[in-house]
Structure 1
């Protein structure tokens, strides 16, 4: 690229646990990024990496490419189509990349309105959490116009060097992410149940999970969740409320498509049960302690040094 070629300007809306880690990777890669977050103090530390911080989403509208990473469908609609939304300004980004987990209906509405003003939308939800992002092991799935994906692929790879998958047009990436997160919940519930079974039979959680992680049934995820299960560190990486939201969306799609999901439906109710017991803002690994209580077992931290399998590299 010639030194005279203008740099692509990037906007970023939403710097919660995930968004902060993701935009940090773009900044460390040398990109020009302007950031907005509803609570400004949460994104101000990004100025140390070179970010410019603004007070409203509207101030991102003159960026070439704008990323959004918000909690729910209503937040995505507000930050794009609301009174101070990115798509309601005189200036418009060429491309909008949404990395949130939102409904296909809301995404389609934003896509339609974006296209009417000449902005292309790429749906690009992700798999992982802040620590996974920092370790360079985030995965991303994208859908939308292929030529738009090809243009932003280098930016996506800077955020998610492990894997960036193009799934097709329109909103199909939303379905991929919802299916993924339903599986996440089902796997976590099953992992909780078998871990409780082993412990009630006299096996330490550390020993059981060491064996599991070394077997063909082990996975990146079971390894990653091992410290939380062994030492009962429920510092939030993904909350039961967020997991419930994804089950709500995913099971609604299953009903539309007439796909029976009995195991997922039961897990949905178990997640709801944990929320009903007040577990809203801690990690969804609380499914382990809830499974233990159902078995008449009260867990204690084992205080054993175990690895989550992630590199500490930033």
Structure 2
């Protein structure tokens, strides 16, 4: 299948590599062109523009946020203006429910197909082709792109014919992950200050009631205090909680814990945590308790956004 891939960050690079290994014809586009070099060595071609990469049977976008997605989809050089009628855009980015709905309408008006397919899994999982794909869109559209999902993931969950539902599921999942990180951090701060080794405590948890990958992965990061390099950067975590709260407000669903998580991420970012993995919020409880070095005290706060 002829595939255009937009966005070669930590997740996108691994996804594109697995499409190449599955013998798909892949053209890639990234603002930093050097990020394409490793994929070119695997057989990819580089596109000079969004318009060029959109001349494919399927275009996949894997970008950081709503603004990045809107920048590549709209305009004369964007995906909607250059994707052929009947071709498919797969949005794997974690974006707002509102933007997903907007994208579906734009592609429909252009005679194109749109599938929302955000994924669960960190960069190492993406590189291994073991992502979990949350897909939503017309059944015929999903049938077209299922071979691509098979190349990048271990299982596809089709949740709706309405694309925005996949984005709602993805946001809710990231909310749950952040909730686990926060609760793990608080529990570890408690036992650590009481004299229990954090790694031993994690072994107890994951050998008994909490034998799940999420506890092992994030518990290890918190126990080790290893938050760099970031597999999923803290500003992206803050963004996802913000989008979760926006979706909840539209649906009139109170999410008190999500409001707490928003403030935890803002605390982390306000004290210079922008380059850290989002699991670093799990260290805040220990810092609040005076149980670990307050690394952020020596950092300059991130500059305020300009308008």
Q: Does the pair score TM above 0.5? A: yes
Tell me: CA distance 1:91–1:222, structure 2 relative to 1, closer, same or farther (3 Å). Answer: same
Matched, 1:29 2:4: no
> What's 2:245 paired with?
251
1:167 matched to 2:159: yes
Q: Which secondary structure does the structure 2 equivalent of 1:10 belong to?
A: strand
Q: Which residue does 1:144 correspond to in 2?
A: 137
1:296 aligns with 2:296: no
From 192, 216, 234, the equivalent of 1:240 is: 234
Which runs of no fewer than 5 residues in structure 1 stay unpaired? 1-7, 301-314
Q: Is the contact between residue 66 and residue 93 of structure 1 (CA under 8 Å) also seen in structure 2? A: no
Q: Retained in 2: the 8 A contact 1:62–1:92?
A: no
Unaligned ranges ≥5, structure 2? 295-307
- Change over 3 Å in CA distance of 1:92–1:77 after alignment to 2: farther
Establish whether residue 132 from structure 1 lines up as the match of residue 125 from structure 2. Answer: yes
**1:92 positional shift:** 5.3
Which residue pairs with 1:119 in the alignment? 112
Deviations 1:168-201 (A, max 9, x none): 0221001001101111111100011101111111
Deviation at 1:39, TM superposition (A): 0.9
Q: Which portions of structure 1, spanning 4 or more consecutive aligned residues, are displaced by more than 4 angstroms?
A: 90-93
Count of residues paired in the alignment: 292
After superposition, the CA RMSD in angstroms is 1.6
Of 256, 264, 270, the residue aligned with 1:270 is 264
**CA-to-partner distance for each residue in 1:127-179, whole Å, 9 max, x for gaps?**
11211112343111011101111221121121011x21000022100100110
| Structure 1 CA distance for aligned equivalents of residues 156 and 17 of structure 2 | 18
Q: Could you tell me which residue of structure 2 aligns to residue 187 of structure 1?
A: 180
| TM-aligned CA deviation for residue 288 of structure 1 | 2.6
CA distance 1:245–1:53, shift in 2 (3 Å): same
Partner Cα distance (1:270, 1:45) in 2: 37
1:231 CA drift (Å): 2.2
* Equivalent in the alignment of 2:206: 213
- Give, in whole Å, the separation in 2 of the partners of 1:135 and 1:192: 28
Checking the alignment, whether the CA contact within 8 Å between 2:182 and 2:282 is kept in structure 1 is: yes
Conserved 8 A contact 1:81-1:110: no
CA contact (8 A) 1:141 1:167 kept: yes
Q: Deviation digits for residues 229-288 of structure 1, max 9, x if unmatched?
A: 232221201122101111111111111111111122112111111111111121112113
Q: TM-score, normalised by structure 1?
A: 0.89
For 1:223 and 1:135, the matched residues in 2 are separated by: 18
SS of the counterpart of 1:82? coil
**TM-score between both structures, scaled by the size of structure 2:** 0.91
Residue of structure 2 equivalent to 1:200: 193
User: Is the 1:289–1:299 Cα contact (8 Å) retained in structure 2?
Assistant: no
8 A Cα contact 1:156 1:164, kept in partner: yes
Q: How far is 1:62 from its partner?
A: 1.6
